[in-house]
């Protein structure tokens, strides 16, 4: 599979990606890194973004995430390996990704608010929005997955 066009060979795309990357790195201190990666993986799975799923699972593994947890992200509701806070973040990520299914319920929001303070919630919402933007860009242009090396785009 080949991408429909090369982001890095198009000046307008490169400029947009720089802004998106700046948004992705803003405030990256309030949420635990593992939670950030789990959220990015789950949204990417839902959106069918192979390149983002590839990137974030490899980056998470490189940072020490266990294979068991990575393999169970898609089935997090039935898995005992995630904390209650991580489960709240994953629920928010799912509903924030599947907006057409009714948006984020008050119950999911309240559960996230039990585990995260306002700064962390701000970062979590921003993270969900940004990964969804990356997912949509990559899916639209059919960006291929599988060749990513940890840290390649940091």
Per-residue pLDDT reduced to its tens digit, 35-87? 999 999 999 999 999 999 999 999 999 999 999 999 999 999 999 999 999 99
Q: Picking from 2-6, 82-86, 125-129, 139-143, which range would have the lowest pLDDT averaged per residue? A: 2-6
The pLDDT assigned to 51 comes to 95
Instruction: Tell me, yes or no, whether 26 lies in a domain.
Output: no
The pLDDT assigned to 154 comes to 67
The pLDDT assigned to 153 comes to 72
Instruction: Tell me, yes or no, whether 134 lies in a domain.
Output: yes
Instruction: Tell me, yes or no, whether 67 lies in a domain.
Output: yes
How does the average pLDDT of the chain come out, rounded?
93
Other CB atoms within 10 A of residue 29 CB: 8
Mean pLDDT score, 93-112? 97
Of 60, 113, 68, 117, residue with least CA distance to 91: 113
Instruction: Tell me, yes or no, whether 61 lies in a domain.
Output: yes
Instruction: Tell me, yes or no, whether 103 lies in a domain.
Output: yes
Could you tell me the CATH number of the domain that includes residue 93?
A: 1.20.1290.10
CB half-sphere exposure, 65, CA atoms < 13 A: 26
Task: Find the domain containing 66 and state its range.
Answer: 31-141
Instruction: Tell me, yes or no, whether 20 lies in a domain.
Output: no
Instruction: Tell me, yes or no, whether 17 lies in a domain.
Output: no
- Is the per-residue pLDDT at 8 higher than 80? no
Instruction: Tell me, yes or no, whether 51 lies in a domain.
Output: yes
Please state, for a pLDDT cut of 90, what percent of the chain lies above it.
73
Tally the domains of the chain: 1
The pLDDT assigned to 28 comes to 67
């Amino acid at each position: 599979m080949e991408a429909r066009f090369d982001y890095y060979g198009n000046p307008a795309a490169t400029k947009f990606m720089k802004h998106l990357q700046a948004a992705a790195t803003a405030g990256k201190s309030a949420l635990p890194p593992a939670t950030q990666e789990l959220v990015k993986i789950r949204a990417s799975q839902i959106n069918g973004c192979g390149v983002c799923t590839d990137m974030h699972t490899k980056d998470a593994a490189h940072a020490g995430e266990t294979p068991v947890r990575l393999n169970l992200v898609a089935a997090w509701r039935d898995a005992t390996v995630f904390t209650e806070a991580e489960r709240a973040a994953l629920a928010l990520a799912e509903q924030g990704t599947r907006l057409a299914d009714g948006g984020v319920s008050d119950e999911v929001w309240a559960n996230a608010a039990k585990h995260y303070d306002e700064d962390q919630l701000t970062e979590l919402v921003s993270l969900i929005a940004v990964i969804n933007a990356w997912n949509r860009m990559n899916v639209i242009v059919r960006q291929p997955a599988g060749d990513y090396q940890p840290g390649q785009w940091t």
